[in-house]
Amino acid sequence: MTTLHEYLESADCEPDLCTLIKLIAEQAQPIREAFITHQAYVESENVYGERQAAMDTWSDELITRVLGESGLVRELSSEEQDEIRTFPRAKADYAVVMDPMDGSSLIQTNLAVGTIVGIFGGGKVLQRGRGLKAALYMLYGPMTTLTLTLGKGVCIFAMDHGGVYRLLEQDVRIPDGNLYGTGGGRPDWTDPHTAFIAAIEANGAKLRYTGSYVADFHQILKYGGIYCYPALKGKPTGKLRLLYEAIPIGFIAEQAGGAITDGSVDLLDVEPTEPHQRTPIYVGSMNMIRRAKEIFERSRA
């Protein structure tokens, strides 16, 4: 079976970008081991006032150190760090955005969580999603998988017992489908979101939501449907972050034939103004994205 290394060689990937992707993917092994030793919460909050699980800070520090030492990354913005990190002596000019441990509130329940990464060229992290050179996520479930796009379709790899990633699936396409997951409490939903959920449920949509965005999205990628974290009453930008959560996953969705929107605009076209900005997210199959857009458009009319 094709290894990640062989795939990157055959995909004609820039050599430094190949090295960077392999370096990030390799961190899945120490991260998996640390799940055993870093179960407890630490007494700190991240920039959003969320309690940080020990794994949040641990994986953030690990990946930050490895990327800093690689000499390939000029800027790094992590969901877990207040400020953008710069590495002025880097010899390459990649810029990385990451959510080092998405879904971390589920670690103690042993549900799947993951690491989400977007890689830009040009040394700056504040760029539109459509400018990404690569996006990937590692999903720590029963298997460790790597879902990757270099902007030429999506591949899924699984790590074998020797730590080697082997190609499970290539040219992954999101089928039209009828699964959905939505964040936010029902009383806090806005009228268009309530109308959208009612419309898809009337059409037979079935709820599946764990509370781990990366895992919930992976299910949508495989089976079709939509993941939503909507605008909420009193929280018009919702909960999830444009740079770390929307952009890399949206790029993967689009490369698989799906799309990402906030209800009106394609989130890959949004120019970020600050690293931690939030956005409502609707990401998944085209049948669902079209429906969401129709309903939101009607609500604006």
Catalog residues that contact ligand F6P under the rule CB under 6 A.
102-103, 105, 183, 211-213, 239-240
Q: Which amino acid is at 223?
A: Y
Three-class secondary structure assignment of the chain: CCEHHHHHHHCCCCHHHHHHHHHHHHCHHHHHHHHHHCCCEEEEECCCCCEEEHHHHHHHHHHHHHHHHHCCEEEEEECCCCCCEECCCCCCCEEEEEEEEECHHHHHHCCCEEEEEEEECCCCCCCCHHHCCEEEEEEECCCEEEEEECCCCEEEEEECCCCCEEEEECCCCCCCCCEEEECCCHHHECHHHHHHHHHHHHCCCEECCCCCHHHHHHHHHHHCEEEEECCECCECCCCCEHHHHHHHHHHHHHHCCCEEECCCCEHHHCCCCCCCCECCEEEECHHHHHHHHHHHHHHHC
Cα 235 from chain centroid (whole Å): 21
| For Mn ion, the closer CB: 16 or 102 | 102
Number of residues in contact with Mn ion under rule CB under 5 A: 2
Near Mn ion by CB under 5 A: residue from 16, 102, 216, 262: 102
| For Mn ion, the closer CB: 60 or 102 | 102
Give me 98's structure tokens.
Answer: 């990451």
Q: Which stretch binds Mn ion (CB under 5 A): 23-31, 90-98, 102-110, 168-176?
A: 102-110
- What minimum distance in Å lies between the beta carbon of 123 and ligand F6P? 26
- What minimum distance in Å lies between the beta carbon of 62 and Mn ion? 17
- What minimum distance in Å lies between the beta carbon of 245 and Mn ion? 5
Question: Any contact of residue 99 with Mn ion (CB under 5 A)?
Answer: yes
Q: Which residue's Cβ lies closest to ligand F6P?
A: 213
211 binds, among ligand F6P, Mn ion, none (CB under 5 to 8 A by kind): ligand F6P
| For ligand F6P, the closer CB: 87 or 282 | 282
| For ligand F6P, the closer CB: 19 or 277 | 277
| For ligand F6P, the closer CB: 75 or 79 | 79
- What minimum distance in Å lies between the beta carbon of 48 and ligand F6P? 9
Question: Any contact of residue 80 with Mn ion (CB under 5 A)?
Answer: no
- What minimum distance in Å lies between the beta carbon of 131 and Mn ion? 22
| For Mn ion, the closer CB: 99 or 216 | 99
- What minimum distance in Å lies between the beta carbon of 181 and ligand F6P? 8
Residues contributing to the site for Mn ion (CB under 5 A)? 99, 102
